[in-house]
Each structure stands twice: as C-alpha cells, then as structure tokens.
A and B are shown apart, each in its own frame.
Chain A
Amino acid sequence: MTPAKKTDDFKEVAVSLAIINKQDVPTFVRNLLRFYRVGGPVETNGHYAFNTIRDPAELRLDYPTTILPPKKFLLPPKETLFEFDSAHEFKIKPPRLEPRTIIFGVHTCDLHAIQLLDHVFEAGHPDPNYNSRRRQTLIVSVECLSPCDEYSFCKSMGTLSADEGYDLHLTDIGDAYAIDIGTDAGQNLLEHASVRSETPTDMQRLNAVLSEKWPRFPYRLDFDVSDLPSLLSMSMQSPLWNELGERCLACASCTNVCPTCFCFDVRDEVELNLTHGQRSRVWDSCQLDEFATVTGGHNFRKSRALRQRHRFMRKGKYILDAHHHLGCVGCGRCARACLVNITPVGVFNELYRQKEVGGQP
C-alpha cells in the first residue's frame, strides 16, 4: 500500500492504491456500520435505490442506476431548517445534527453532480445546513465499466471518470476492487478493511479494465460538449421550446430525479398545539406552475415552453456560468423518467441540427 495522497498537496501525483478482495467488502461495510450511517444502492421492487444500509448483503455495487441520485443524503427531499418550541416566543433550535455518513457506490456522474452542489452551497452565502451535512459525509465512488442503459450519456458530458471528489474510489478488477485513496479521511476508513498492497498483476488488470471500458460507452451528443453553452445562448428563440411545451406534462419528474437540481421550497409545519413545529425545505421544481408565480397570480414563467427552456438553459449554460460545472452530468435519469420522451440528448442534438441547417437555430 502506497502512502495516501494529501489533500492539500497538489504536487504529489502518485496515486495511492489499495486492493480489497470482493469477499471482504461485506466485512468492511459491517465494520463501517458501527461508526457511520452507510447509504448505498440496494435492490427494491425490481429496481435500485440509494437507501440506508442495514445489512451489508443488501449493498449492490453492480447496480446500473437509481431513480433518485445519492444527492438525497446531502440535500434530502425534505429537510428541517430549524425547529421551534414556542411559535410566539420565537424559541428556535437549530436542526439536529445528522449522523456521520458514508455514501457508498456513487457513480462518477453523480460524483460530478455532488461537486457542483458543493460549489452551489458554498458560493455566496455558504449554506450552513448543507455544509454541516457535507462535512459529516464521506464518499466512496465506483468506476463505471459499462453504460447503465441506453439513456446515459456521461461520456459526452465528460463525467465518465473523475479524479477528485471522492474519499475512496473503487474499480472492479475481477475478484477484487482496486481502491484509489482520495483523501486522508478515506485512508482512515481503510483501517476498517482488510486490504493489501497492489501487485503488478493487479495493476495490469486495472489498466486493462480502464482502457477497455471506454469503447463500450458511445458518444451521444453530435457535437462537442464545450460548444453547448454557446449553442444554448443562440437558441433562446428556437421553435423547439414550443414543441416541448406542447408535449411536456409538467410533472416535474425530470427535475426531481436530477442529481444537479437543487431548487427548493420552504414550508412551516406546526403541531396541533400550535406551539411546537419546524421550518423545512423541500425539493421544488421549475417545471411546476407555482414555481415562479407570485401572489396575485402573475406567473413569470407561465408557459411550459418557457419552463422547459429554463431547465435546459440551466443545465447547459446558466449553472456553468455561475458555478464552473455543467448543470447536466449525463446520468440519463430525466430521460428515463420522461413519459413524453423529452431528453437532454434529443434536445441538444436538435438545437445543434437546427443551427447547422439554419445557420441560426
């Protein structure tokens, strides 16, 4: 085992590696469960979901994809901002601290998404709730060796690999995982695992696995993703938005399953005694009617066409401008969830086609 790379030492390029045999993973997880809440992909009713692991046997590192991304551990669908004991006297308590958490089995697309979220919640006014949860969280990611299904387009979005953002990163090399140790905290986790140093054979297998995987993933965008922001800025008036608006059901499935969406609503709840209660934030969606509606009924994004445009502008441009990461990581979840087949690949390629044909989209 080579010494861990220090997070603050950018010069050191040597990758710190360790090897864990597959049969030792359950014990590793079991050991972690004693100190951490562990979230990871489990099979439920014929699909996969990131859930809190109770039994290491549930963990399915070979999962294709999940309906909701692992984001839910960092930005839960509903989260207490604070509690109050007496509504009238303003006795406010900060939310209870959540347990230290390890998110196990994160794919690289989702890893990129988490890096974006980290930036969003750190920029400007740092968000105390997100940040305190993030500080309590370690990430163990896994290398994807074949596409989840026909909907994913991570390769086009540049998220098929990641060289930071994880504490540990696992690559399946047959009967073992090669562990790339990303941080000291990650290194410390390995105290709970029975790992060994890599052998030349391990390295050979790792290199082979990593180089063989790329051809398995298709490019699905017809143009280079670096052109996406400029393509979108030229596409504000595209007729495509109206077409999407006619089809879109405004069911918000696309944003609800997206690993990079972070908009929220804030709601108060109080018990029947009207004194104790809480203020929470809950996921919201720009696709819903009420999202940009103010009292009196004026909706600043009234048509579904404008809302779809806003969504794709955010994904491919606005978020990049503000946070230096693309707002779409190519996971394909929204495409899978959409009943009327509105997909980022389809939309982006169509805008590109319109531009090519018309000079202007």
Chain B
Amino acid sequence: MSPNNKPKVAFFDFTCCEGCQLTVVDSLQKYPDLLDAVEIVQFREAMTEKGEDYAVAFIEGSCSRLSDEPRLKQIRERAAVVVALGTCAHLGGVNALKYLHPLVDVQRYVYGDHAEWFETYDVRPIDAVIPVDFAIPGCPIDRDEFIACVNALLLGKKPPIPDYPVCVDCKLRENVCLFTQGKVCLGPVTRAGCKAICPTYGQSCEACRGFISNPNDSSMRNVLTEHGLDVDDVTSIYTMFTTYQVRQKMMAEEAKSK
C-alpha cells in the first residue's frame, strides 16, 4: 500500500490487441472513482510516467517469445498480486490458433524467406510462465467484472469470477436459445460473467472466457453434432480461443495413453 493507502497498480501488455486495456480506460466512464481507489503507476497505452513500485500487476496479452519471459518474471518479483487480464493472458486466446499449423510453416507463410528475423515460440498464457494469482477472463474483458475484481482486491476477497456456464446469464436475459434458431453455441460449457453478450446479440458463444471447471464435454459435443456440425466444425468452434487448453489436454491424454 502506498502512503495514501491506495494500492499501486500497474498495467503491462504482451502479445494482444490491447482491447482489454482499452476496456479498462472505458470503465472510467462508468466508474470514475477507480482513480480515487487505486494509484495507477504504469499504463503504457495511456501514460508516460512509469513507476516500478506496484503491488498489483495486471498483465494483458500472451507470452509469445522467449525474450518476454524475463520481463514477466521481473513483474512477478515486484508485484504482490499478478492478475492475467483478458483471454490472451488467461488462456493464450486467438494467438494460440497458430498451433493448428506447425509453427515454422506459420512463420514462413507470413514472413516468407525472412522468417528467422522474427523471434517467436509457442504462444502461451501467462500462467505457463509465472504464477498468476487470478485471471479476469474475456475477449475483451467485461468492464463491470473488471471493477468487481478490483473491488474484491481492495476488500481482500476472492475475485467474483463465476464458475457456472454462460447459459445461466443467457436465460436470465430471456434470449431465445441459439440452438432453437438453427445456430450452435458453446454457452453450456463456457464460464459465465460476460452477461451472455454473444447469444444476446445473436452470435454463438465461442468460449472466449474458457471452460467451466467441470464441463460435460462429451454431451456438449453430442449436442453440436446433433445440430449438424461435423468433427472439423466442432474442433473449429472448440479452438477459437482455447487452442492452448485443448492442445494441452490432448497432449496430457496422449502422455497418459503411452
């Protein structure tokens, strides 16, 4: 805590679109008190000042190269609390989609013959590099949930990230289920907290917030197939944001079967 008793917080970004930091800036529209509740000492997207003394570090973005690791470790050493902000930091997010193709192939495809100029390695969520105290999920994060998490930090509580599926919120919003409109949806296995915003706006939930801790995957897959998806489609929808997790799981299963 700083002398004025406000916790010092810092924001850092790695490989991402910076939409989550932008959402933090936008949260000020509804919660101007945020600036009175915490002291922001570093936020590259919005400020020049750089303080290196902080208690809470919000990290946005995935780790996508070896040279990012020391910086992450340094943040971990300095901060009492490290929060993964948004899907890229939390799960790897869309950045991990490139796993679907072998890495070298991807590099060549984009950089042609100069691939070796640009360092990259298997994209990973932040907690694959340093211990993370908790994650605020979402691509992008939900501003109300972000504030609720800051609030919990101030109170010394666990952040109020739900462990129930998106369908709960979707029903409370009285949406017509997408499955009855001839579409598909990952709501039943995805962690809620986004107010079921995608189904509410007529699009399938793509699991940007990751899965609940105890999803019924096989039943979900059956439902998707019954609604006309083939195996490729199911893989496709399951991997939009969670390629890293799906791949980890596959590798673990492979290792187990050996």
Contact = CB atoms under 8 A, between A and B. Distances in A.
Interface in B164-220: 164-165, 167-168, 171-172, 174-177, 179, 187-189, 212-216, 218-220
A274 B223 contact: no
Given A45-B176, A289-B163, A271 B168 contact: no
Interface in B91-131: none
Contacts of B212: 289
Interface stretch (A152-160, A170-178, A218-226, A252-260): A252-260
B154 interface: yes
Nearest to B147: A272
Given A251-B165, A252-B167, A274-B154, A283 B172 contact: yes
Interface residues of B, number: 37
Contacts of A274: 37, 151, 154-155
B240 interface: no
Contact of A251 (B188, B218, B222): B188
B168 A251 contact: yes
Contacts of A267: 160
Contacts of B187: 251
A246 B213 CA distance: 16
A148 to B, nearest CB: 15
A304 B171 contact: no
Contacts, number: 98
A105 to B, nearest CB: 16
A68 interface: yes
Contact of B216 (A66, A256, A304): A304
B171 A337 contact: yes
Interface in A240-294: 246-253, 256-257, 267, 269-274, 283, 285, 288-290
A67 B155 contact: no
Nearest to B165: A251
A47 interface: yes
- Chain A CB within 10 Å — which of B37, B165, B174, B175 has the most? B174
Contacts of B254: none
A271 B33 contact: yes
B36 interface: yes
Contact of A272 (B151, B171, B172, B179): B151
A246 B217 CA distance: 10
Interface size class of A (residues with CB under 8 A): 35 or more
A67 B199 CA distance: 15
Given A47-B176, A249-B189, A256 B168 contact: yes
A273 B33 contact: yes
Contacts of B167: 249, 251-253
A341 to B, nearest CB: 10
Given A249-B216, A272-B154, A288-B164, A49 B179 contact: no
Q: With a 10 A CB-CB cut-off, give which of B33, B37, B150, B216 has the most chain A CB atoms.
A: B216
B245 to A, nearest CB: 18
Nearest to A250: B216
A13 interface: no
B219 A248 contact: yes
Nearest to B181: A46
A251 B219 CA distance: 12
Contact of A337 (B36, B154, B177): B177
A339 B171 contact: no
Interface string A325-347: 00000000000010110000000
A44 interface: yes
Given A44-B174, A339-B179, A339-B188, A249 B151 contact: no
Given A289-B214, A339-B188, A249 B223 contact: yes
Contacts of A49: 174
Contacts of A256: 168, 171-172
A77 interface: yes
Interface string A190-219: 000000000000000000000000000000
Residue of A49, A288, A339 with highest tally of chain B CB at under 10 A? A339
B223 A272 contact: no
B162 to A, nearest CB: 9
A68 B171 contact: yes
A257 B36 contact: no
Nearest to B200: A45
B81 interface: no
Nearest to A288: B164
Nearest to A274: B154
A46 B188 contact: no
A340 B219 contact: yes
Contacts of A250: 165, 214, 216
5 contacts: A246-B219, A248-B216, A269-B148, A272-B147, A339-B188
Interface of B: 31, 33-34, 36-37, 147-148, 150-151, 154-155, 160, 163-165, 167-168, 171-172, 174-177, 179, 187-189, 212-216, 218-220, 222-223
Give 5 nearest A-B pairs by CB, closest first. Answer: A251-B167, A249-B188, A272-B33, A256-B171, A251-B188
Given A274-B37, A274-B155, 17 more contacts: A47-B176, A67-B171, A68-B171, A68-B172, A77-B172, A249-B167, A249-B216, A252-B171, A253-B177, A267-B160, A272-B150, A273-B33, A273-B36, A289-B213, A289-B214, A290-B164, A339-B223
